[in-house]
Structure 1
């Protein structure tokens, strides 16, 4: 584990757990996305778990391994122990812990949200997979490329049966590029279906917007709070969208990081309530 606690992050600060994708390290992932810079700016602590080559040669988190998809076992337990250590050592707020990740890291973020809903207040799944979308390496490759489609009742049941939790469920932000050829965009839609089902909401979104040119849909609970949102990033391949300030689009700024004119990290932080300033340019789509 790698941790970063900026000076602004005093006692009671939130914690963000950021999980890298295959072929990345914690440092390269942070360098490309800029999570530590955002942590320094907004005053939250950052935890960056890193996969070992001894576990997976490509440094993929084991979201598809039966031993790594249950509560209190394998990699989910390991990351849970890292969180407990960070919260205790730096006196962070245990009610404001969030998790995000890219690709295999996104799939593991989904696994953590499912197995530890009592630990996380929210998450952001980027180019990831639904919880228990595959069992084993071959099944995982098939699900990634072709997409794994199931009824909402089945998807949500997998999450609800992953723990004994019956309280409030984490708020979930889902991001996927339309040109992703590594993890089919079908999987992004299925993640939305899974978590909308977990929150027992209608499949029809309450809010539809365009943010910096990209489609955003949101689902609200009975209290009027957005608990599930989906960004469909037009023209993006497999990776995380960032905004560098230039006019270029679809430019790779780091491995699996693309300047799409929208910052996933900034929008996730706003969705989680870590900043009051809503980023980006928001418009209603033309009918």
Structure 2
């Protein structure tokens, strides 16, 4: 599927929501951190300006080094305003119970008129450039300001934000402990979109390895895909899993040969909810990869309390699944 076609579908799906989205304008000067509050802040560099919000759980203390979850929204959304990643995921509720910080970056209309992250653009796929640099800079700012644990920084993204989460894992493996892609695709997919048969996940795995450079490390990954997604089709999830498996082999052995047989396949049929299949790869010496194929789900985030335009409460509780996976896998 071409980038033009994907962009066209995104425009059709999200244009209506843009009417409802209030652009989060301006940022507040950094306030003193306080437990049980939300703080607006921003990060600026030669690459531009990024507004974000930090949710600080009630259990936060200056001497308690907490994990960080960075939640990256999709097209037609904001991080913490109307139709937000904040309300969609309800990460704040879980953070208050489990004790971690949540960061919600918000895309600027100046960079994308549909509020998509530019994850298909080569200008935003490298370390120290574009949106990856801005989000990484914001993460470092949060870690320093709140005394967070730099070995437990996790990213989770939806749609275009999923693409950005994978880009961060490939370009900042020294910063990102785990990554989650919900309805996203592989790193450097734009190289393959016009000729999927010729440019394989093996080819893009080499590009991911090049992006990692001397910091090469396979980042543990969750891939979530609805089988009824007509914006990001299911083959994108399959390619991402394949890319990450090959990347792990390249990092460990220098060769792209890898056994793609999963270590575990579990089918779950919750009463009154969508069935889904979890496929797990636990390759010795490599990172964990869990993929979820949800039957009946479209281009949405799922969970029993999910709220917003692009949600489906009949799917699995992704927020809890993501945190359970991330909390067991610090950066080593």
Task: Quickly name the TM-score band, shorter chain normalised.
Answer: 0.7 to 0.9
- Give the C-alpha shift of residue 274 in structure 1: 5.6
1:222 aligns with 2:276: no
- Give the C-alpha shift of residue 186 in structure 1: 0.8
Task: Map residues 60-79 of structure 1 onto 2, 5 A cutoff.
Answer: 60-79=116-135
Match of 2:94 among 38, 62, 69: 38
- Give the C-alpha shift of residue 273 in structure 1: 2.3
1:23 aligns with 2:79: no
- Secondary structure of 1:192's match? helix
Aligned to 2:24: none
Match of 1:210 among 239, 246, 267: 267
1:162 aligns with 2:211: yes
Aligned to 2:181: 125
- Give the C-alpha shift of residue 166 in structure 1: 4.6
- Give the C-alpha shift of residue 9 in structure 1: 3.6
Deviates more, 1:77-86 or 1:4-13: 4-13
- TM-aligned CA distance change 1:198 to 1:9, over 3 Å: farther
CA–CA separation in structure 2 for the residues paired with 1:148 and 1:30:
34
- TM-aligned CA distance change 1:148 to 1:183, over 3 Å: farther
CA–CA separation in structure 2 for the residues paired with 1:29 and 1:20:
5
- Secondary structure of 1:49's match? strand
Number of matched pairs: 259
Normalising to structure 2: TM-score of the pair? Answer: 0.73
- TM-aligned CA distance change 1:193 to 1:89, over 3 Å: same
Task: Map residues 2-17 of structure 1 onto 2, 5 A cutoff.
Answer: 2-10=53-61, 11-17=64-70
Aligned to 1:109: 165
Q: Tell me if the contact between 1:148 and 1:190 (Cα under 8 Å) persists in the aligned partners.
A: no
Aligned to 1:87: 143
Normalising to structure 1: TM-score of the pair? Answer: 0.84
Deviates more, 1:2-11 or 1:202-211: 2-11
- Secondary structure of 1:162's match? helix
- Secondary structure of 2:321's match? helix
- Give the C-alpha shift of residue 148 in structure 1: 4.6
CA–CA separation in structure 2 for the residues paired with 1:97 and 1:148:
33
- Secondary structure of 2:289's match? strand
Structure number, greater radius of gyration: 2
CA–CA separation in structure 2 for the residues paired with 1:113 and 1:31:
24
- Secondary structure of 1:271's match? helix
